[in-house]
Structure 1
Amino acid sequence: MSHAMQPSNNSPNMSDENPTPIQDDSPATASNHQISDGAGSEIDFSTINEKEVLRKMDLHLLPMLSLLYLISFLDRGNIGNAKIEGLTQDLHMSGPQYNWCLTVFFFTYCAVEVPSNLMLRKLRPSVWLPTIMVAWGIVMTLMGIVQSYHGLLVARLFLGLCEGGLFPGVTYFITMWYCRHEGQLRQALFFGSASIAGAFSGLLAFGIAKMDGVGGLAGWRWIFILEGIATVLIAVLAFFVLYDFPDTAEFLSTEERAWVVHRLKYQGSKDSGQMVAETEKFQWKHVKEAFTDWQIFVGIWMYWGIVCALYGVSLFLPTIINELGYKSSTAQLLTIPIYVTSALLTVLVAYYSDKSRIGRAPFVFLPMCAILIGYIIALAASAHGNLPGLVYAGVFIAACGIYPAFPGNITWLSNNLAGSYKRGAGMAVHLGVGHLGGAMASNFYRDSDKPKFLLGHSLEIGFVSPSRTYYSRVNSRRVTEGNEKGLSLRVLSEMGDKAPTFRYMI
Structure 2
Amino acid sequence: MAEDKRDISSESEKAVADHTEVTADQHAIAERGHAATDIYGNALIHIDPKAESKLRTKLDLFIVPTVSLLYLFCFIDRANIGNAKIAGFEKDIGLEGYDYNIVLTVFYISYVLFEMPSNILCKWLGPGWVLPALSLGFGIASVAMAYVKNFSQACGVRFVLGAFEAGLMPGIAYYLSRWYRRAELTFRLSLYIVMAPLAGAFGGLLASAILTLDHVADVSSWRMIFLIEGIITCGLSVIAFFTLTDRPETARWLTQEEKDLAIARIKAERVGTTEVLDKMDWKKLLRGISSPVVWATAICYGLNNITVQGLAFFAPTIVRTIYPDKTTVMQQLYTVPPYVVGGFFTLMLPLLSWRFDRRQIFLIATTPLVIIGFSMFLGTDNANARYGACFLLTSSLFAVGPIANSQVSANVVTDTARSSAIGLNVMAGNIGGLISTWSYLPHDGPDYHIGNGLNLAVTCTIFLVTIATLLWMKWDNKRREARHVEEELAGMSEQEIRDLDWKHPAFRWKP
TM-score (norm 1): 0.88
Q: Comparing 406-415 with 438-447, which one deviates more in the overlay?
A: 406-415
Aligned match of 2:3: none
CA separation of 1:46 and 1:444: change in aligned 2, threshold 3 A:
closer
Aligned match of 1:377: 376
Given the alignment, which residue of 292, 297, 300 partners 2:298? 300
Q: Comparing 365-374 with 64-73, which one deviates more in the overlay?
A: 365-374
Aligned match of 2:25: 34
Q: How does 1:14-413 map to 2 (within 5 A)?
A: 31-35=22-26, 36=28, 38=31, 46=48, 49-212=51-214, 217-269=219-271, 280-324=278-322, 325=324, 326-356=326-356, 359-381=358-380, 385=381, 387-413=382-408
- Partners of 2:355 and 2:371 lie apart in 1 by 26
Deviations 1:128-148 (CA, angstroms, capped at 9, x unpaired): 111111111111101101110
1:276·1:501 contact (CA, 8 Å) conserved in 2? no
1:277·1:493 contact (CA, 8 Å) conserved in 2? no
Q: Which amino acid aligns with 2:435?
A: M
Deviations 1:323-380 (CA, angstroms, capped at 9, x unpaired): 11233211111111111111111111111111115x2122111112222111111221
Deviations 1:175-201 (CA, angstroms, capped at 9, x unpaired): 111011111100011111111111110
Corresponding position: 1:497 with 2:502: yes
2:287·2:501 contact (CA, 8 Å) conserved in 1? no
2:205·2:336 contact (CA, 8 Å) conserved in 1? yes
2:190·2:399 contact (CA, 8 Å) conserved in 1? yes
Shift of 1:484: 4.6
- Partners of 1:39 and 1:204 lie apart in 2 by 48
- Partners of 2:113 and 2:32 lie apart in 1 by 43
CA separation of 1:483 and 1:241: change in aligned 2, threshold 3 A:
same
1:279·1:496 contact (CA, 8 Å) conserved in 2? no
- Partners of 1:279 and 1:492 lie apart in 2 by 16
- Partners of 1:428 and 1:396 lie apart in 2 by 30
- Partners of 2:477 and 2:88 lie apart in 1 by 55
Q: Comparing 98-107 with 480-489, which one deviates more in the overlay?
A: 480-489
Q: Which amino acid aligns with 2:502?
A: D
1:104·1:157 contact (CA, 8 Å) conserved in 2? yes
Shift of 1:278: 6.4
Deviations 1:217-272 (CA, angstroms, capped at 9, x unpaired): 33110101111111111111111111111122222221221121112123144xxx
- Partners of 2:330 and 2:493 lie apart in 1 by 62
Q: Which amino acid aligns with 1:198?
A: G
The DSSP-based 3-state class of the residue aligned with 1:146 is: coil
CA separation of 1:45 and 1:323: change in aligned 2, threshold 3 A:
closer
Q: Which amino acid aligns with 2:370?
A: I
1:304·1:463 contact (CA, 8 Å) conserved in 2? no
The DSSP-based 3-state class of the residue aligned with 1:84 is: helix
1:278·1:493 contact (CA, 8 Å) conserved in 2? no
1:34·1:44 contact (CA, 8 Å) conserved in 2? no
Q: Percent identity?
A: 29
The DSSP-based 3-state class of the residue aligned with 1:178 is: coil
- Partners of 2:286 and 2:132 lie apart in 1 by 28
1:61·1:242 contact (CA, 8 Å) conserved in 2? yes
Q: Which amino acid aligns with 1:34?
A: D
Shift of 1:396: 1.5
Q: Which amino acid aligns with 1:184?
A: T
CA separation of 1:48 and 1:261: change in aligned 2, threshold 3 A:
farther
- Partners of 2:267 and 2:282 lie apart in 1 by 20
- Partners of 1:51 and 1:407 lie apart in 2 by 21
- Partners of 2:447 and 2:410 lie apart in 1 by 40
The DSSP-based 3-state class of the residue aligned with 1:127 is: helix
Given the alignment, which residue of 407, 419, 424 partners 1:424? 419
Aligned match of 1:463: 458
Q: Comparing 340-349 with 481-490, which one deviates more in the overlay?
A: 481-490
Deviations 1:364-418 (CA, angstroms, capped at 9, x unpaired): 111122221111112212xxx3x11111111220111101122111211111011
Q: Which amino acid aligns with 2:377?
A: A
- Partners of 2:45 and 2:290 lie apart in 1 by 39
CA separation of 1:275 and 1:124: change in aligned 2, threshold 3 A:
closer
1:43·1:255 contact (CA, 8 Å) conserved in 2? no
- Partners of 2:144 and 2:204 lie apart in 1 by 21
Q: Which amino acid aligns with 1:404?
A: A
Shift of 1:285: 1.5
CA separation of 1:454 and 1:118: change in aligned 2, threshold 3 A:
same
- Partners of 2:327 and 2:488 lie apart in 1 by 70
- Partners of 1:232 and 1:253 lie apart in 2 by 32
Q: Comparing 291-300 with 432-441, which one deviates more in the overlay?
A: 291-300
- Partners of 2:328 and 2:356 lie apart in 1 by 43
- Partners of 2:273 and 2:147 lie apart in 1 by 58
Q: Which amino acid aligns with 2:379?
A: A
- Partners of 2:147 and 2:278 lie apart in 1 by 46
Shift of 1:151: 0.7
CA separation of 1:213 and 1:246: change in aligned 2, threshold 3 A:
closer
2:283·2:499 contact (CA, 8 Å) conserved in 1? no
- Partners of 1:39 and 1:337 lie apart in 2 by 49
- Partners of 1:218 and 1:300 lie apart in 2 by 41
1:117·1:169 contact (CA, 8 Å) conserved in 2? yes
Q: Which amino acid aligns with 1:310?
A: V
CA separation of 1:28 and 1:176: change in aligned 2, threshold 3 A:
same
- Partners of 1:332 and 1:316 lie apart in 2 by 12
Aligned match of 1:12: none
How many residues were matched structurally? 476
The DSSP-based 3-state class of the residue aligned with 1:485 is: helix
- Partners of 1:450 and 1:277 lie apart in 2 by 55
Shift of 1:39: 10
Q: Which amino acid aligns with 1:498?
A: K
Q: Which amino acid aligns with 2:300?
A: M
Shift of 1:503: 1.7
Shift of 1:301: 1.6
- Partners of 2:493 and 2:393 lie apart in 1 by 46
1:117·1:165 contact (CA, 8 Å) conserved in 2? yes
Q: Which runs of 5+ in 1 are unaligned?
A: 1-20
Q: Which runs of 5+ in 2 are unaligned?
A: 1-7, 35-43
